[in-house]
Amino acid sequence: MERGLYIVPTPIGNLGDITHRALETLAAVTLIAAEDTRHSKKLLAHYGIETPLWAYHDHSSDTATQQLLARMASGDSVALISDAGTPLVSDPGFRLVRSAQDSGIRVFPLPGPCAAVTALSGAGLPTDRFFFEGFLPAKSAARRHRLESLAHQSGTLVIYEAPHRIAATLGDAVAILGEGREAVLARELSKSFETIRRGALGELLAWVTEDVNQQRGEQVLLLGPVADAVEPVVLSGKDRALLFRLAEELPPRKAAAIVADLSGLRTRDLYKMLTERDKN
**Residue 92 or 155 having the CB closest to ligand SAM:** 92
What residue type is 234 in one-letter code?
A: V
116 is a site residue for ligand SAM (CB under 6 A): yes
114 is a site residue for ligand SAM (CB under 6 A): yes
235 is a site residue for ligand SAM (CB under 6 A): no
Residue-by-residue DSSP string for 104-125? T--EEEPP---HHHHHHHHH-S
90 is a site residue for ligand SAM (CB under 6 A): yes
Cβ neighbours of residue 230 closer than 8 Å, sequence gap 6 or more = none
Cα(121)–Cα(115) distance, integer angstroms: 10
Return the residue nearest ligand SAM (CB atom). Answer: 85
Cα(238)–Cα(247) distance, integer angstroms: 14
> How big is the site for ligand SAM, counted in residues (CB under 6 A)?
24
**Residue 188 or 203 having the CB closest to ligand SAM:** 188
186 is a site residue for ligand SAM (CB under 6 A): yes
**Residue 12 or 270 having the CB closest to ligand SAM:** 12
**Residue 93 or 252 having the CB closest to ligand SAM:** 93
Restricting to residues 187-206, name those near ligand SAM by CB under 6 A: 187-191
Cα(241)–Cα(238) distance, integer angstroms: 5
Cα(194)–Cα(42) distance, integer angstroms: 22
Restricting to residues 148-177, name those near ligand SAM by CB under 6 A: 160-162
From candidates 68, 78, 84, 158, binder to ligand SAM by CB under 6 A: 84
Strand order of the β-sheet with 4-7 is 53-55, 31-34, 77-81, 4-7, 107-109
11 is a site residue for ligand SAM (CB under 6 A): no
218 is a site residue for ligand SAM (CB under 6 A): yes
Q: How buried is 248 (Cβ within 10 angstroms: 0-12 exposed, 13-18 middle, 19+ buried)?
A: exposed
Q: Rule CB under 6 A: which residues touch ligand SAM?
A: 12-13, 82, 84-86, 89-91, 114-116, 160-162, 186-191, 218-220
